[in-house]
Structure 1
Amino acid sequence: ENGNFVGPSIIAGVKPNMTCYKEEIFGPVLVTMEAENLNEAIDIINKNPYGNGTAIFTSNGATARKFINEADVGQIGVNVPIPVPLPMFSFTGSRGSFRGDMNFYGKAG
């Protein structure tokens, strides 16, 4: 009623010039994009100013490893959406998504 609220949503066919790509949405929103190949997908992710999380769905282990190693984000899901904030998963963002000097669970140690 007061303020902005977005219910669970999927936004498909997103392009880099769209607001939902250029601005980070904190809510139950899944933004989907398509790429011609793995390198283009990684490039799209790394050119975005934010780095909260991403996911890839693949049956190829080498593809998954390359994606994990080269995508600059705080969370990566392989054959699953981005993990929920549980102790076994990192919940920090990267680049424009990271805030403060501590991760989600506080300082290490």
Structure 2
Amino acid sequence: MSAREAGPARLFVITGGRTRAAGGAALDLVTLVAVADEAPPGLASERAAILRLCGGGPLPVAELGARLALPVSVVKALLRGLLADGLVTAHPPASHRPPDLETLRQVLSGLHDL
């Protein structure tokens, strides 16, 4: 069942009515999510599906939403609950800082020498 077929009532039930956790981790589309602990018995199916998907390695939030066919806002609400329970970890992507200009000049000089 897709998110469109599910309707708002089902999405409300999936998230337990949560839209945002107070003091929750900042999650964006490229935040990598990894499994931190095994799923306890009786875990809701959507939460268990996230753990199963991330069991093969970290996945970005956007990928989880696509694979679960759920809106990213719903996935984020589920992830905040899993983070609070210590079942997953969230890692921001590595920051991209601009390359050092002197290094670029040396590379360019080396290329000219070829």
Structure with the bigger percentage of strand: 1
The TM tier, using the shorter chain, reads under 0.3
Q: Max radius of gyration: which structure?
A: 2
TM-score by length of structure 2 reads 0.22
TM-score by length of structure 1 reads 0.22
Structure with the bigger percentage of helix: 2
